[in-house]
């Protein structure tokens, strides 16, 4: 993996024809250190957000020792990459063969579930093992998050008493877990979920050893600027301390996006301009899946050695494939004089960008380079970020510059 100082320096030196992924190992280390030092419990990386072996190694070296895996493929990947890591199989619906391999081959002892059927499957697959940590997933609201995870998984209130009691009988350690949805924009999402946890514990009258607040910890994007993560941690800690659980109970979390969003960005080239539509060489089937399919706005900037005084304008993107749905509506704010051949950096793509990339239509080949400049935005730089000139300009500021 080649190393460069900055996105601009790379674009200027290489003039790449294909999309280029930029990785910033220092940004991932900073995020991991922040979580391991400040979250008041165990930090467990959600591998689905970005399964890059290089990133897994960085997180491990930065103190992340536990990994939330959702498939036997992720189990095998992390076992191969980090043989000493602790794996927790947190997908609530698993193939019995996957459970068996995870337990007997890879040493997995923690499993989540949300039905009696899944509990019975785990017991059969592990042959009645007596060293299991079983985490019952409860359904909670995603109303305070940008992406819902409330429809597919989670035991309903009427089913939790029986399920918790049965899991308690089969488990060495009993846990309760939930997921407030992706990109939670308020700490209240966790406080509200903890009230559902409280009600479930009281109703079932069971001893609970683990409270796992799942993922949902946000990153910052244009139009989505969350409160400081410390506020989330404080809210979670207060709610945890007030639960009717034993003094020795553990608090867990499963950050994914918050640990890896700042890790990588993408350099693309403009292949055509049609009015305010830019045809670029990556898109919906590549790293920009979220921008196309759920309307996610990512920070963008033109990479040109000599900047111009051009006002900013709102653009949309078309990706390189033949499909009309290969379209990213944005709006993405760029200089109005942008033209064919210009390079654009698209930031904050470390979460899900690489994980969802395909080679559909013959596109998708890309290089990866390491850079040591800062990501286009950050939740972790604090006062240092405030002291720097802003790298991401707000919509209002763009419009002021454009005289709109």
Percent share of the chain, pLDDT over 90: 79
Phi, psi (degrees; rounded to nearest 5) at 165:
-65, -45
pLDDT in tens, 328-387: 998 999 999 999 999 999 999 999 988 888 888 878 767 899 999 999 999 998 744 443
Judged against a pLDDT cut of 50, whether residue 400 lies above it is answered with no
* Structure-derived torsion over alpha carbons of residues 4, 5, 7, 10, reported in degrees to the nearest 10: -40
Q: Which two tokens stand for residue 227?
A: 């409160």
pLDDT in tens, 147-206: 888 888 999 988 999 999 999 999 999 999 999 999 999 999 999 999 999 999 999 999
Domains of the chain: residue spans and CATH: 2-22+262-402 (2.40.37.10), 40-254 (3.20.20.10)
Query: Which of 43, 135, 177, 322 is the catalytic position?
Result: 322
Alpha-carbon distance values, 9 to 49, 63, 127, 224 (Å): 28, 32, 57, 29
pTM: 0.90
User: Is 322 known to be catalytic?
Assistant: yes
């Amino acid at each position: 993996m080649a190393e460069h100082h900055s996105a601009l320096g790379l674009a200027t030196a290489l003039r790449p024809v294909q999309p280029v992924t930029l990785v910033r190992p220092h940004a991932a280390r900073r995020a991991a250190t922040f979580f391991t030092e400040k979250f008041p419990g165990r930090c467990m990386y959600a591998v689905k957000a970005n399964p890059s072996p290089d990133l897994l190694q960085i997180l491990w070296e930065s103190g992340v020792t536990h990994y939330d895996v959702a498939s036997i493929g992720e189990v095998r990947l992390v076992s191969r990459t980090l043989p000493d890591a602790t794996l927790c199989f947190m997908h609530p619906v698993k193939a019995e063969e996957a459970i068996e391999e995870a337990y007997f081959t890879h040493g997995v002892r923690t499993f989540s579930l949300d039905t009696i059927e899944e509990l019975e499957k785990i017991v059969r697959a592990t042959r009645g093992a007596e060293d299991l940590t079983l985490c019952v997933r409860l359904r909670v609201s995603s109303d305070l998050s940008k992406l819902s995870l409330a429809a597919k998984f989670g035991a309903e209130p009427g089913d939790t008493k029986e399920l918790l009691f049965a899991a308690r009988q089969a488990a060495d350690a009993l846990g309760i877990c939930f997921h407030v949805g992706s990109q939670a924009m308020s700490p209240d999402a966790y406080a509200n979920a903890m009230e559902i946890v409280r009600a479930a514990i009281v109703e079932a009258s069971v001893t609970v050893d683990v409270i796992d607040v799942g993922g949902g910890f946000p990153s910052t994007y244009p139009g989505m600027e969350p409160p400081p993560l410390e506020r989330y941690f404080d809210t979670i800690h207060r709610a945890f301390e007030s639960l009717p659980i034993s003094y020795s109970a553990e608090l867990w979390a499963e950050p994914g996006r918050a640990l890896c969003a700042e890790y990588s960005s993408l350099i693309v080239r403009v292949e055509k301009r049609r009015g305010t539509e830019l045809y670029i060489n990556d898109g919906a089937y590549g790293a920009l899946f979220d921008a196309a399919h759920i309307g996610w706005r990512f920070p963008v900037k033109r990479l040109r050695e000599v900047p111009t005084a051009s006002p900013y304008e709102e653009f949309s993107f078309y990706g390189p494939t033949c499909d009309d749905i290969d379209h990213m509506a944005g709006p993405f704010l760029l200089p109005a004089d942008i033209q064919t051949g210009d390079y654009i950096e698209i930031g904050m793509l470390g979460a899900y960008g690489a994980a969802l990339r395909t080679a559909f239509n013959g596109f998708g080949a890309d290089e990866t380079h390491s850079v040591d400049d800062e990501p286009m935005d950050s939740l972790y730089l604090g006062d240092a970020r405030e002291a720097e000139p802003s790298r991401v300009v707000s919509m209002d500021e763009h419009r002021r510059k454009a005289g709109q």
